[in-house]
Structure 1
Amino acid sequence: MSQPAPAVPPLWHPDAPSTVVQGDNLAVVADLPDASFRLIYLDPPFNTGRPQARQTLTSVRSEGGAGSVIGFKGRSYERIKGDLLSYDDRFEDYWGFLEPRLIEAWRVLADDGTLYLHLDYRESHYAKVLLDALFGRESFLNEIIWAYDYGAKPKNRWPAKHDTILVYVKDPSAYHFDSAAVEREPYMAPGLVTPEKAQLGKLPTDVWWHTIVSPTGREKTGYPTQKPEGVLRRIVQASSREGDWVLDFFAGSGTTGAVASALGRRFLLVDSNPAAVAVMRDRLAACEPGVRFVG
């Protein structure tokens, strides 16, 4: 009599080690359980190409099984439609690529969790329409502007030197946000406040002045879209607690994992690019010796 095949352990569970997965992020995230992650940070490829044809975008919001659209693994959604322009240099249908991944991000976000979606100025307003439909407008928390001052400066328009980070919470009455945990920054005009306040510094606002990763600095990995640890540090400090799970399924150089590890959080990172996973192996080995690599 043949023995039954051993059960395949789940990719993720609450007691798993911090993990890096090489694979298609949509397939990976579709296998994760609902409401698993306190914090999700997403930095998808920026859609920086020339204008293409107008298309209809279908955005969806979970309605507890009562929706008219059957999605991943039999889950149902209510369909909401709107016209958006498509701008595409890497995908035939950028929003067709991103939309199902945002649906899955909503599903695996904890009830008191927060999503940070990092985009550039070309796509952020379209993303907000989609996220308003998916999360509900009342779940919109912030639009963070990350401003920097490096790179090319055209002479025929104002140079674009910022990214946009859209912040949404699963439940606007029960999300986690700890301003006391965030590193404070200097006042721009310290003479206008008391010496005590000037020494303490101020809580960052929704405009973050922070340099890009220095080409010669200690953080530099050589990965082309690497984000600075200082930006992720604010996000992780404010919207998660020690021991919480952080998810990033456009992981790139692994900045989210490096910061999460340094702050005592656990992480699940996903990327399909073997070069990204190779960078993460080198980078995370030093800060997270027990990290597991899958795929």
Structure 2
Amino acid sequence: MPTVWSPSSPSRVVHADNLEILPGLPGGAFTLIYLDPPFNTGRKQNRQSTTSVRSNAPVDSDALGAHAAGTITGFKGQRYERIKGDLLGYDDQFEDYWAFLEPRLIEAWRLLADDGTLYLHLDYREAHYAKVLLDALFGRDCFLNELIWAYDYGAKSKNRWPTKHDTILVYVKNPAAYYFDSTTVDREPYMAPGLVTPEKVARGKLPTDVWWHTIVSPTGKEKTGYPTQKPVGILRRMIQASSREGDWVLDFFAGSGTTGAVAAALGRRFLLVDQNPESIAVMRERFAPLSEVEFLGPTIAIV
């Protein structure tokens, strides 16, 4: 497979099936990986569907087992297969979705630097399955946070509690060495400013694991017109805390390119991958002011 990226490359956007690109990338190259895969909603999404076969790229099971602290023996360990089998028996819609996502999560683990962090963005339909499987894949000691992004937009259900949040699962490659600097994160207003000192009110408070943040406004300047676009403010917190200036950030469900836009604004380098032509068109327009960003098409390979 031709090399489409190396650590000496400029920031790049690759138009391709991510599972065809990921095995050719060097292991341990990315400090932060953010993934916002298609949600398994059972509804038709306004984006190109993706079907792929599992990657045959080798996995270093000995190294993986060391990080997983005995939870599994490699990605194909007996306990992992048992857990996956249990979930398959519980939900008959689980198999197709995880046949799609599992090989990509395996690649994400391989591509994370030793001090790296994975942010996996899902909704309530898959988050609980993902937590169990990522515990088995990464090791439970590699679980860092469950972030709740809460918002108030959309239909108001009258026969159940309206679902107004997404879940972001945060896992690290090495729990003894991951990078995290909360002091770099933008602060937010206190909800009860009268209970703290004026100095604290002026400085603001650090976000917790529940993030109240509006969606991308349909009429706002941030809107690109791409379905499922995520707000700059959500990505900004992750990239500020879990990477340094000059670090590499990877998003292989790139969508509208918000991960790259935020990474560039914060002085990080990025690699984005998406196979949807609509996504690539949106990112070409979005990154037009950034002369250092290169675009690779489906038939182009540049080292």
TM-score interval for Structure 1 and Structure 2 normalised by the shorter chain: 0.7 to 0.9
Counterpart residue number, 1:156: 159
Unmatched 5+ residue regions in structure 2? 44-58, 66-73, 298-303
Counterpart residue number, 1:56: none
Q: Which amino acid in structure 1 is aligned with residue 272 of structure 2? A: L
Q: For the structure 1 residues 189 and 33, does the alpha-carbon distance in structure 2 shift closer, same or farther, using more than 3 Å as the test?
A: same
Counterpart residue number, 1:137: 140
Counterpart residue number, 2:264: 261
Q: Which amino acid in structure 1 is aligned with residue 296 of structure 2? A: V
Deviation at 1:284, TM superposition (A): 1.2
Counterpart residue number, 1:78: 76
Shift >3 Å, 4+ stretches: 85-88
Identify the match of residue 117 of structure 1 among 108, 115, 120: 120
Counterpart residue number, 1:291: 293
Distance 1:27 1:114 in 2: 22
* Cα distance per residue 1:176-227 (max 9 Å; x no partner): 0011100000000011111101110000000000000001111101001100
- The equivalences for 1:97-246 within 5 A come to 97-246=100-249
**TM-score, normalization by structure 2:** 0.85
Structure with bigger RCO (C-alpha 8 Å, 6+ apart): 2
The alignment partner of 2:37 has SS state of coil
Distance 2:147 2:95 in 1: 28
Deviation at 1:15, TM superposition (A): 1.4
Counterpart residue number, 2:50: none
Distance 2:92 2:199 in 1: 49
Structure with bigger strand share is: 1
Q: Is 1:33 aligned to residue 29 of structure 2? A: no
Distance 1:92 1:251 in 2: 24
**1:182–1:234 contact (8 Å) kept in structure 2:** yes
Deviation at 1:13, TM superposition (A): 1.1
Using the aligned pairs only, state the percent identity: 74
Distance 1:172 1:32 in 2: 23
Counterpart residue number, 2:40: 47
Distance 2:158 2:219 in 1: 27
The alignment partner of 2:76 has SS state of strand
* Cα distance per residue 1:2-55 (max 9 Å; x no partner): xxxxxx9721111100000011101111110110000000000001128xxxxx
* Cα distance per residue 1:230-259 (max 9 Å; x no partner): 000000000000000000000000000000
Superposition CA RMSD, Å:
2.1
* Cα distance per residue 1:44-96 (max 9 Å; x no partner): 0001128xxxxxxxxxx8523799xxxxxxxx7432222114465xx970001
